[in-house]
Amino acid sequence: MTLEQIYTEPHRRFNPLTQEWILVSPQRTQRPWGRQREAVASAVPPYDPDCYLCPGNQRAGGVRNPDYSSTFVFTNDFAALKPDVRPAKYDESGRGLLLSESEAGTCKVVCFSPRHDLTLARMTVPEIVRVVDVWAEQHAEIGSLPDINYVQIFENRGEIMGCSNPHPHGQIWANQTIPNEPRKEQESQRAYAKKYGSCLLCDYLQLETKAATRMVVENAHFAALVPFWAVWPFEVLLMSKQHVSDLVSLDSHGTRGAGGHLQTTHHPL
């Protein structure tokens, strides 16, 4: 069977970052499905007096926002993680079947702009740069805390993704322990480096650049591509072309730093 035949029939693809297999069924693209159609949103005002993220408005937790004019960061009023958690571990079964332990951390909200009617994609480049600078500042500040071992910066957009407010904003979740997915990816990259003496993501990026079949867009510093092991219909892997360990290691050109390989994944539905 040829490679082309394999890719047109049901098959599995291996994700070397998570050490898991992904089922791919190309023939399902032929099924009779009109796809979901989203209603076109009505005009959104620059300021909404009922929005709990707009400048000067009172948030759902009772705190009033300052009249901010740029990016604004605050601790989530309904945080999924809290710093003042008492250390505890409990095994209800005594055999590790009902095991639980405390998890400390913090959650923050990052308002990208005071404008209620914008999205990150519709902001100016200087405005977006300010957001990225705030991400780096928060990553450095939160990541330096003694009980924090992982900082995740993300954005959920749209009601279908569980976003409760259309105001342009994202979140930062910082954990005491490293979550499952990044932990598996780190372990896989260490194992690959030990076995082959090179960087897993560097080698993968070289293959994708040469193939040029899944590359979405790239410049001198970054590449956005559909990963070979994609799970979602529209999944994009954004990779720095330089070795950098984290967001803080990047300069304004995305080139400073040494160590790991910065990557981020986007899974829109």
Closest to 207 (Cα-Cα) out of 185, 233, 232, 229: 229
pLDDT at position 5, please? 65
Q: Determine the Cα–Cα distance for residues 229 and 65; give it in Å rounded to an integer.
A: 42
Find out whether 54 and 117 touch, Cβ atoms under 8 Å.
no
CA pair distance 12, 21, nearest whole angstrom: 6
**From CA 141, how far away is CA 163, in angstroms rounded?**
26
Q: Which SS3 state, helix, strand or coil, does residue 103 take?
A: coil
* 56 contact partners, CB below 8 Å, separation of at least 6: 64, 65, 66, 67
> Which pLDDT belongs to residue 39?
62
What's the pLDDT score for residue 189?
95
Residue 214 is predicted with a pLDDT of 96
**Domain locations in the chain?**
72-177, 181-266
Burial of 39 (0-12, 13-18, 19+ CB in 10 A): exposed
Domain pair 72-177 / 181-266, same fold:
yes
Q: Which residues of the chain have pLDDT under 70?
A: 1-3, 5-7, 27-42, 160-162, 252-269
Pair type for strands 99-101 and 150-154 = unpaired
- State the pLDDT at residue 253: 58
The CATH class of the 72-177 domain is: alpha beta
Q: Is 243 a catalytic residue?
A: no
Query: What is the pLDDT at residue 111?
Result: 98
Which of 116, 139, 167, 169 is catalytic? The answer is 169
Q: What is the pLDDT of residue 269?
A: 32
Query: How far apart, in whole angstroms, are the C-alpha atoms of residue 71 and residue 108?
Result: 13
In the chain, which ranges are continuous DSSP H helix? 3-8, 125-143, 180-196, 200-211
pLDDT at 24: 83
What is the pLDDT at residue 22? 86
Separation CA 53–CA 101 (nearest Å): 33
Beta strands 99-101 and 89-91: pairing type?
A: antiparallel
CA distances from 81 to 28, 46, 103, 106 (A): 40, 31, 7, 5
Q: Which CATH architecture has domain 181-266?
A: 2-Layer Sandwich (3.30)
Which pLDDT score, from 0 to 100, does residue 41 have? 58
